[in-house]
Amino acid sequence: MTDANYDTGVGTDTDSVVRSRERGESVSESVVLAVSEATDTDPLEMSRLADVLDPDALDALFPGDGGEDCEGTVSFRFDGCAVTVHADGYTVASQSDESQH
């Protein structure tokens, strides 16, 4: 689910997609879906997340759906986007100028 009201912490000149993890959705699934939406690319045509990092390790960092009391982030680049996963259940994917053609 995209949440346009979440404070991404990125400037307004970038295109950002913010996803709130759904119940039962893993962090790695949220990353793929956020980047897919930000780049307007079918998830099946994207690079493999496993080529960038270990999806199981990412899922283990932030188990569950998050919440207001959860803290921490992890950031990385994936398929032309800067991605930040927040412990509170949000995933932000932002296309940077260098990744746009």
Q: What tokens appear for 61 in the block?
A: 């960092």
Is residue 101 predicted with pLDDT exceeding 60? no
Residue with tokens 């509170």: 88
d(CA 1, CA 15): 16
Supply φ then ψ for residue 98, to 5 degrees. Answer: -70, -20
pLDDT in tens, 31-62: 999 999 999 999 999 999 999 999 999 999 88
Residue 14: its pLDDT value, please?
A: 56
> What's the whole-number average pLDDT of the chain?
82
Contact 82, 94 (CB under 8 A): yes
Question: Which strands, in side-by-side order, build the sheet including 73-78?
Answer: 15-20, 90-95, 81-86, 73-78
The number of residues making up the chain comes to 101
Query: How confident is residue 98, by pLDDT bands cut at 50, 70 and 90?
Result: low
| End-to-end CA, the chain | 27
pLDDT in tens, 3-23: 544 554 544 445 789 999 988
d(CA 32, CA 45): 11
